[in-house]
Amino acid sequence: MVCKMHDIVHDFAQFLTKSECHALGGAGRNSSSERARHLTILEGTKQEMFSSRGVDFGRLRSFLTFSEFGILVPRNLFCTLKCVRTLTLSHCWLPEIPAEIGSLIHLRHLDLRHCVIVEIPAEIGRLIHLRHLDLSQNRFVALPEAICDLYYLEILDISLCQNLCCLPERIESLVHLRYLFNFGTSELNQIPQGLGKLTSLCSLTRFVVRSNSDDLAILKDLNQLEILHIEIEGEVDFGSAELGKKVNMREMYLLFSFGAHFTETPSCIESIELPPNLQQLVLDKYPGTQLPSWLVTKPLINNLTKLIINEAYNISSLPALWKLSSLEELGLIGVRKLECLGKEFFGITKAVHANSRDALGTLSNSETSISAEAVAFRNLRKLRFHNFYNWTRWEDLSEDDEEVALSIMPRLEELDFWGCGKLEILPHRILGRISSLKKLDIGRCSKLRDHYFDKTRDDWKQISHIPQVHISN
C-alpha cells in the first residue's frame, strides 16, 4: 500500500516532529536530531547508517527500515535499542537472529519479514510485551517452544515460510492470539491439538484436514473465527467442526488437495452446515460433478456477496446460482467440462414460451423475489469467466423468452472473459438487457476477438453500447 501526502501537510508534519523523528537515506531526506525517538532508514542506505552519530539509539521508541535490497544488519544493533517498542527490519539480511534480541523487553511490534532467517532463537520468548510478530517469508523449519511464552501476542504471521514443518506443542499458551496467518506453509501438514483452546482466534489462513481424521474437531470451540481456510485431503467429518455455530465467520476458503481421493459427489461436502453469516466463499479444485446443494439454500442466498469457483474440472453445468440474491461478485475459473452455458444459468428452463410465466413460478415466487418481475442475480456487479477451455456456446434468449417478465443481472457493471478460446459469440439479447454494464474485458479469446475486434462489423454494434470494451490477445 502506498499513501500520498500533500507537500504542505508533509512539511507541517515534519515541522511538528523534527525533534523526535529522524530519517536516513535518499536524496534530500536526511535529518538529524540527538533527541530523536523514531528512526527510519530509507532505501539505498549503507550499513554505517545503523550507527549514525546524529542519533542516540538508546532513546529510540521505533526503528524502521524500508529497503528492497537486503541491508546487512549489524549484530550489535540489538544491544543498543534499549527502549524500542516498534522494530521493523523487513527485507534486511539477517540469516541469524542474535540472542541479544531477548533484551528488547519493551517491544510491542516486531517485523522480521523476508530476512532470510534460518533459525529463531529461544530468547525471543523473553519479549513478554510483544503483540505483533511477523516472521513471514523466511527459511526456518520450526518455531521454538519459547515463543509460547509471549502471553500477550495477538498477531503471528508465518505465511510463506515454505520450510516450516511444525508449530509449537504449547501453542495453547498463546491465549490472546487473534490472528494466525500461515498460508503458503506447504510443509506444515499437522496442527497441534492445543490450537483448539485459542478461543480468541479470529483468522486461521491454513488448516489441513487429513483423510479419516478428527482434525476438524480442533475447530469446535473457535467460535470467534471470522476467516478460515481449510485444505481437505480426503473424506472427513465436517460435523465435528460445528461450523454452523460460528456466527462471526465472514470468509471461508475450501481447497481440495490434488492428492485427495473422492467419490464423484463427496458426501462429506454435502453434509457441511455452513456458518449462518458467511459473506465470501471460495471452492478451489472442487472434485464433484455437481455443485453442492447447500450453495443455493439459506443462509447463503441472503448473505453471500462473493463466490469464487476455481478449477472445478468435473462440473459441466452451472444451474441455480441465480438464486444468490445478495451476490455481488462471481468468479468462475477453470470449469473445463462446460461446453454450453444454457439459459438455466438464469433460471429459465427450456419449457419457457411466450405465455409460460407459470413455468417460472419457482423463480418469481422464490424467497429472493421482491416484485412481480423475476430477477436473476439481483445484486451481481462483477462476473468473470476464466479458462473455460471447452466452452463453445452461451445460449442467448429467444424471441419467446423476451416476452417473459424476467430481469437479468440488473446491476452488473463488469463482465470479464479470459482464456475462453472456443467461445464464438456473446449473447447479444442478454447483454442488451443489462443497461448497467460499464466494462467488458475480453482477453485470450481468439474467436471472440475475431467477432468483435473490427468495429465496422455488425457484431461490434451489438456491444458498442458498453462504455468500456477492451479486447486483447
Per residue in 245-283, pLDDT tens?
999 999 999 998 865 555 455 677 888 889 999 999 999
**Domains of the chain: which residue ranges?**
36-44+54-173, 313-473
Note the pLDDT tens digit of each residue in 193-249: 999 999 999 999 999 998 878 899 999 999 999 999 999 988 888 999 999 999 999
| Spatial separation of the C-alpha atoms in residues 314 and 286, rounded to whole Å | 8
Which uninterrupted H or E stretch holds 77? helix 77-80
144-182: burial string, b at 16+ Cβ within 10 Å, e else: bebbbbbeebbbbbbbbbeebeebbeebbbbeebbbbbb
% of the chain surpassing 90 pLDDT: 58
Average pLDDT (329-349) is: 92
Give the mean pLDDT of 34-54: 67
Burial track 432-469 (b if 16+ CB lie within 10 A, e otherwise) = bbbeebeebbbbebeebbebbeeeeeebeebbeeeeeb
pLDDT of 386 over the 70 cut: yes
Residue 23 binned pLDDT confidence (cut-offs 50, 70, 90)? confident
Residue 361 pLDDT class (50, 70, 90 cuts): very low
**Cβ 41 vs Cβ 71: under 8 Å:** yes
- Does residue 343 carry a pLDDT above 80? yes
Q: Give me the CATH topology for the region 36-44+54-173.
A: 3.80.10
Give pTM, 2 decimals.
0.87
Average pLDDT over residues 318-334: 94
The pLDDT of residue 354 = 41
For residues 39 and 330, the model is more confident at: 330
Portion of the chain with pLDDT greater than 70, in percent: 83
Report the distance separating Cα 409 and Cα 421, nearest Å: 24
CA distance linking residue 42 with residue 44, whole number of Å:
6
- What is the pLDDT, as a whole number, of residue 356? 47
DSSP H/E element including 156: strand 155-157
* DSSP helix/strand/coil, 244: helix
Q: What is the pLDDT of residues 400-415, one digit of tens each?
A: 777 776 889 999 999 9
Q: Omega into 299 within 30° of 0, i.e. cis?
A: yes
- For residues 5-28, average pLDDT: 64
Per the prediction, the chain carries an average pLDDT of: 86
Assign 29 a pLDDT band (cuts: 50, 70, 90). very low
Task: Reply yes or no on whether the pLDDT at 362 is more than 50.
Answer: no
Q: In Å, what is the CA distance from 148 to each residue of 145, 219, 248, 340?
A: 6, 20, 26, 54
Grid coordinates in use for 3? 499513501
The whole-number pLDDT of residue 114 equals: 93
For position 392, what pLDDT does the model report?
A: 97
Banded pLDDT at 68 (limits 50, 70, 90): low
Which residue in this structure is represented by grid cell 459427489? Answer: 265
